[in-house]
Structure 1
Amino acid sequence: MNAPLRDRAGQFTDDEAARWPDIAHIPHGPTTKVRAAAAAWLFRHASRHLDVRIEYPDGSISGDDTSYVLPRMIIRRPDDFARRVGTAGLIGFGEAFMAGDWTTDDLVGVLTPFAERMAHLVPRPLQVLRSAVLPKHPPSEDNSTANTRSNIARHYDLSNDLFATFLDDTLTYSSALFDHVDHYTRRPWSELADAQHRKIDRLLDLAGVGPGTRLLEIGTGWGELCLRAAQRGATVRSVTLSTEQQALARRRIDQAGLTDHVQIDLLDYRDVDGTYDAVVSVEMIEAVGEKYWPVYFQTIDRVLAPGGRVAIQAITMPHDRMRATRNTYTWVHKYIFPGGQLVSLEGLDRVTRAHTTLRLTNQRAMGIHYAETLRLWRERFTANHSRIAALGFDTTFMRMWEFYLAYSEAGFRSGYLDVHRVLFTRPTKEAAR
Structure 2
Amino acid sequence: MTRSAPTSQARSQPAGRTVGIPPQPIPSSGPAAAPTVRRADVDAGRWPDVARLPSAAPVRTAIARHLVSRALNRLSLSVPTGGARVNTAGTRMTVHDPHAFHRRIGRDGLIGFGESYLAGEWDSDDLAGVLTVLAAHADELVPAPLRRLRGLWVSARPVADRNTRAGARDNIQRHYDLSNDLFATFLDPTLTYSSALFTAFPARFESLTAAQHRKIDRLLDLAAVGEGTRLLEIGTGWGELALRAAARGAQVTTLTLSTEQAALARERIAAAGLADRVDVQLRDYRDVEGRYDAVISVEMIEAVGAEYWPAYFTALRRALAPGGRIALQAITMGHRQMLHTAATHTFISKYVFPGGLIPSREAIAEHSAAAGLSTVADDGFGEHYAETLRLWRERFTAHRPVVTGLGFDPVFQRMWEFYLAYSEAGFRSRYLDARQLLLIEGTHR
Task: Say whether the fold is shared (TM-score over 0.5).
Answer: yes
Q: Distance in 2 between matches of 1:206 and 1:131?
A: 42
Tell which deviates more after alignment, 125-134 or 199-208: 125-134
CA contact 2:257–2:284 (8 Å) conserved in 1: yes
Q: Distance in 2 between matches of 1:58 and 1:275?
A: 62
1:187 has 2:204 as partner: yes
- Counterpart of 1:111 (choices 108, 124, 131) is 131
Are the structure 2 counterparts of residues 134 and 15 from structure 1 closer, same or farther at C-alpha, using a change threshold of 3 Å? closer
Q: Which amino acid in the other structure matches residue 376 of structure 1?
A: L
Q: Which amino acid in the other structure matches residue 416 of structure 2?
A: W
- Counterpart of 1:199 (choices 201, 209, 215) is 215
1:406 has 2:426 as partner: no
1:426 is displaced (CA, Å) by 2.3
Tell which deviates more after alignment, 128-137 or 105-114: 128-137
Cα shift readout 1:243-294 (whole Å, capped 9, x = no counterpart): 0000000000000111110001001100011000000011010001111111
Aligned partner of residue 18 in structure 1, secondary structure? coil
1:9 is displaced (CA, Å) by 6.5
- Counterpart of 2:394 (choices 371, 379, 393) is 379
CA contact 1:216–1:276 (8 Å) conserved in 2: yes
1:19 has 2:65 as partner: no
Please give the TM-score of this superposition, normalised by the length of structure 1.
Answer: 0.92
Match of 1:273 in 2: 289
Match of 1:4 in 2: none
Q: Which amino acid in the other structure matches residue 76 of structure 1?
A: H
1:45 has 2:87 as partner: no
Cα shift readout 1:72-98 (whole Å, capped 9, x = no counterpart): 110010000011111110000000000
1:58 is displaced (CA, Å) by 7.6
Match of 2:345 in 1: 329
Q: Distance in 2 between matches of 1:343 and 1:137?
A: 16
CA contact 2:303–2:356 (8 Å) conserved in 1: yes
Please give the TM-score of this superposition, normalised by the length of structure 2.
Answer: 0.89
Match of 2:32 in 1: none
Q: Distance in 2 between matches of 1:409 and 1:254?
A: 34
* Number of aligned residues: 411
Q: Distance in 1 between matches of 2:54 and 2:43?
A: 18
Are the structure 2 counterparts of residues 232 and 9 from structure 1 closer, same or farther at C-alpha, using a change threshold of 3 Å? closer
CA contact 1:174–1:283 (8 Å) conserved in 2: yes
- Counterpart of 2:98 (choices 63, 69, 78) is 78
5 Å-filtered alignment, 1:8-407, equals 16-29=43-56, 32-57=57-82, 59=84, 68-181=88-201, 185-187=202-204, 191-354=207-370, 356-407=371-422
1:60 is displaced (CA, Å) by 9.1
5+ residue gaps, structure 2: 1-34
1:14 is displaced (CA, Å) by 5.4
CA contact 1:316–1:417 (8 Å) conserved in 2: yes
Q: Which amino acid in the other structure matches residue 21 of structure 1?
A: P
Q: Which amino acid in the other structure matches residue 212 of structure 1?
A: G
Q: Distance in 2 between matches of 1:410 and 1:340?
A: 18
Q: Distance in 1 between matches of 2:321 and 2:248?
A: 20
| Same amino acid, percent of matched pairs | 55
Q: Distance in 2 between matches of 1:154 and 1:303?
A: 28
CA contact 2:42–2:119 (8 Å) conserved in 1: no
Aligned partner of residue 325 in structure 2, secondary structure? strand
1:10 is displaced (CA, Å) by 7.0
Aligned partner of residue 220 in structure 1, secondary structure? coil
Aligned partner of residue 44 in structure 2, secondary structure? helix
Cα shift readout 1:204-258 (whole Å, capped 9, x = no counterpart): 0000100010000000000000000000000000000000000000000000111
CA contact 1:206–1:423 (8 Å) conserved in 2: yes
5+ residue gaps, structure 1: 1-7, 62-66
Q: Distance in 2 between matches of 1:128 and 1:254?
A: 55
Q: Distance in 2 between matches of 1:261 and 1:68?
A: 60
Q: Which amino acid in the other structure matches residue 114 of structure 1?
A: L
Higher relative contact order (CA 8 A, sep 6+): 2
CA contact 2:341–2:357 (8 Å) conserved in 1: no
Q: Which amino acid in the other structure matches residue 154 of structure 1?
A: R
1:322 is displaced (CA, Å) by 1.4
Q: Distance in 1 between matches of 2:55 and 2:368?
A: 47
Are the structure 2 counterparts of residues 15 and 403 from structure 1 closer, same or farther at C-alpha, using a change threshold of 3 Å? closer
Q: Which amino acid in the other structure matches residue 126 of structure 2?
A: D
